[in-house]
Structure 1
């Protein structure tokens, strides 16, 4: 028997930081984020989980965090947003944001 897929709130509620990319399949800048996120994932390893949320398929999650434009990136830890930004964000900036937020953890 396979495990039930986790809900969005379960995914972002853990101690491990989660970077969420709210995107849409029809969005050009969202497509530009895919290789950036892959590069970021390679640089940060397993320090952060990176997930993508399609706003058209998951309107509740997008609405709950007032996502008005895509792509919107939000870094969560323990269910709380630590950082957010809309638009394309370069990998080096994402890595810095992640490391800055991890270093604040005591």
Structure 2
């Protein structure tokens, strides 16, 4: 057991910071703090029970793990904090909003987006 723990700790320390998994954000304050702490952040607005949102989970996870830059990736359910719906004009989910230096610079709400397309979109708008 101890060798597995040491091995897991070593693996965790070798993982790139900010690029391992999407962070679950609980409300508007969490979202604001999250994007303020990142040079670039991709946030998925989703709802529970949304089939397309569920199918995007592994895609957004792969984007987070495969990001070559320090892209922070987060997920927020705007139904948990209704002011988010109005602030970001959420009309459908999944909605992806890309933030650079804490400001929203691009948004995309087209249903399922393949990982390569999502990564290319982020790269196009983050630079």
Same fold (TM > 0.5): yes
Determine which of 96, 103, 118 is the counterpart of 1:73: 96
Say yes or no: does 1:16 pair with 2:35.
Answer: no
Contact (CA 8 Å) 1:40, 1:95: kept in 2 or not?
Answer: yes
**Residue 83 of structure 1: how far off its partner (Å):** 1.4
Alpha-carbon offset, residue 45 of structure 1: 5.0
Partner of 1:92 in structure 2? 116
Normalization by structure 1: what TM-score? 0.81
Moved over 3 A (4+): none
Q: CA RMSD in A?
A: 1.9
Where does 1:27-42 land on structure 2 (aligned, <5 Å)?
27-42=50-65
For 1:25 and 1:80, the matched residues in 2 are separated by 26
Which one has the bigger helix percentage? 2
Unaligned runs of 5+ in 1: none
Unmatched segments (≥5 aa) in structure 2: 1-25
Number of corresponding residues:
99
- Give the TM-score normalised by structure 2: 0.69
Residue-by-residue CA offset, 1:46-84 (whole Å, 9 max, x unaligned) = 521110001211222232110111110000112221211
How far apart, CA to CA, are the structure 2 residues paired with 1:68 and 1:13?
24
